[in-house]
Amino acid sequence: MQFIIVGIGGQGILFTSKVLGHIALKKGQKIVGSEVHGMSQRGGSVISHYKIGDYRAPLVLKGQADILLAFDQMEAFRNFDFLREGGQAIVNVHEARSFENDSLKTYLSEREIIVHKIKGYDILKKHMNGNFLFLNVLILGAMCGAGLGNVTIDEVKEAITELAPARFRDANLKVVDLGYEALIKA
């Protein structure tokens, strides 16, 4: 399985890769990956290439990713071309009208790409007093709610319990459930 995880600096892309890697290693699976930081410290693009299985090279080729996790909708637009035909994406949406673009709709339809949208900022404003530091675990929960990634919500929660700093553990676990619930009902 090949993942592309995208966002902007400070959104927790690397922690997300770490959680997925932790789960895969516990299952005895092989993992390989690479991060491209760009101008991440200035709010620039961050992309993580991540593979589970018998792969040798860390980079996911354009048109080969099974899953795109996008913490920012603009980064999703820039990276949809990594998805294979029939691939799926979890996208944090802040401006739903952007998805009404005819060219984008045609591209996604022709490639049979399924986009699962989650209003991450709205959920975090409502339930976490606008603390957007938890967006990464919200997206992981949404991925499980959509049935993607061959990981369960319990596996994600166990990994978060083991990897998250103690002072953030309970909040992370609350938010991963919020993401799961947002897409399990969708």
| Amino acid 9: pLDDT | 80
CA–chain centroid gap for 99, Å, is 18
The pLDDT of residue 26 is 96
Residue type, 19: V
2-184 CATH pick, 3.40.449.10, 3.40.50.300, 3.20.20.60, 3.40.920.10: 3.40.920.10
pLDDT level of residue 14 (50, 70, 90 thresholds): confident
pLDDT at residue 8, rounded to an integer: 87
| pLDDT at position 43 over 70 | no
pLDDT of residue 38: 58
Q: Where along the chain do its domains lie?
A: 2-184
CB 18 within 8 A of CB 163: yes
Closest CA to 67 of 50, 53, 44: 50
Structure pTM? 0.94
> What pLDDT is stored for residue 148 in this prediction?
96
| pLDDT reading at 17 higher than 80 | yes
What does the pLDDT look like over 111-158, one tens digit per residue?
999 999 999 999 999 999 989 989 999 999 999 999 999 999 999 999
